[in-house]
Amino acid sequence: MSFSPNLIALGKYLAGRFDNQEQALADSVWFVHLHLWQRPVDLFTQDSITLFAEQANIVNLDRPYRQRIMRLMSGISSESPLQVQYYMLKEPSAFSGAGRNPALLENLTEDELDLLPGCILTVTQETITANSYKFTGTQPPDTSCCFSYLKQIVRVALGFEATAAGLNSYDRGIDSDGKATWGAILGPYCYSKREQY
């Protein structure tokens, strides 16, 4: 299937190896130095561009976490021309380290994923200059991203801004009182793209 130019651009902007070294050096009290990998995978190829995402603290690169699958696809209306649907891995340990070692993803299938129904973003596109864009992903109103992890219900607020140069992540964990407990509490994690996938 042929994809729209804006979907292809979104996929290109989100795929890559990123880190937030500059931010971590400037404000180490609030921002740890993280590496983020978002690798294309051959899933849902009939209508989507799909990425495997994983991150790790620079001091523990051998212990990555926050694995997820991001399915980028056309939206349902002109107001939301693009969307990102999140999935989780049924067996995360089987793919631990795949950000650095993509060979681990060669046998990943759709059957090994669980859909996260409320974990979806509407993506808008703003033209900065010719062939240069800013994509902004936000949760639709009245949606809640919740899932079970280690026998606990986890609630997450999702969001991002992506340009050719990098990615600002607004993802954060939310407790039962609606307060942020981890992630982008004082502002986004600002990742620079180090390698294009």
Please write the tens of the pLDDT for every residue from 158-186: 999 999 999 999 988 878 777 777 777 77
Q: b/e string for 43-73 if b means 16 or more Cβ within 10 A?
A: bbeeebbbbbbbbbeeeeeeebeebbbbbbb
pTM (2 d.p.): 0.92
Cβ–Cβ < 8 Å for 167, 14: yes
What would the pLDDT profile of 62-96 be if each residue is shown by its tens digit? 899 889 999 999 987 766 689 999 999 999 999 99
- pLDDT digit string (tens) for 28-54? 888 999 999 999 999 999 999 999 999
> How far is the C-alpha of 79 from the C-alpha of 161, rounded, in Å?
17
Total domains present in the chain: 1
Supply the range of the domain harboring residue 47. Answer: 5-196
* Structure confidence by residue, pLDDT tens digits, 87-145: 999 999 999 999 999 999 999 999 999 999 889 999 999 999 888 999 999 999 888 88
114 strand-pairing partners = 88
- CATH for 13: 2.40.128.590
